[in-house]
Structure 1
Amino acid sequence: MTTATGHTDAIAASRVIGTAVYNTSGEKIGTIQDVMLEKTTNGIMFAVIGFGGFLGMGEKYHAVPWSVLDYDEGQGGYVVPFTREQIEAAPADSIDALTRGDGEKSRNAAYQYYGVEPYWH
Structure 2
Amino acid sequence: MSYTPARAADDLQTGVDAIEASRVNGTKVYNTQGDSLGHIYDVVIGKRDGKVRYAIMSFGGFLGIGEEYHPLPWEVLKYDERQGGYVVGLTRDQLEGAPRYGEANRPSWNDEAYGRRVSDYYGVAYY
What residue number does 1:82 align with? 90
Matched, 1:27 2:12: no
The 1:97–1:7 alpha-carbon spacing in structure 2 relative to 1, beyond 3 Å, is farther
Indicate the residue corresponding to 1:65 in structure 2.
Answer: 73
Counterpart amino acid of residue 68 in structure 1: V
- Cα-to-partner distance string for 1:62-83 (whole Å, 9 max, x where unaligned): 1100011111111111000111
Residue 10 of structure 2: aligned partner:
none
SS at match of 1:57: coil
Does the alignment pair 1:42 with 2:37?
no
Once the two structures are superposed, residues 34-83 of structure 1 have per-residue CA deviations (whole angstroms, 9 ceiling, x without a partner) of: 00000112211101100011111111111100011111111111000111
For residue 115 of structure 2, the aligned residue among 82, 88, 107 is 107
Q: TM-score, normalised by structure 2?
A: 0.79
Structure 1 residue runs of 4 or more that deviate by more than 6 Å after TM superposition: none
Q: Choose 1 or 2 for highest CA Rg.
A: 2
Q: Given that residues 26 and 40 in structure 2 are in contact (C-alpha distance below 8 angstroms), is that contact kept between their aligned partners in structure 1? A: yes
- Normalising by structure 1, we get a TM-score of 0.83
Q: Specify every segment of 5 or more residues in structure 2 that has no aligned partner in the other structure, as ranges.
A: 1-14
- What's the CA shift for 1:93? 0.5
Secondary structure of residue in 2 paired with 1:40: coil
Identity %: 48
CA distance in 2, matches of 1:97, 1:7: 36
CA distance 1:85–1:97, change in 2 (3 Å): same
Alignment RMSD (CA, Å): 1.8
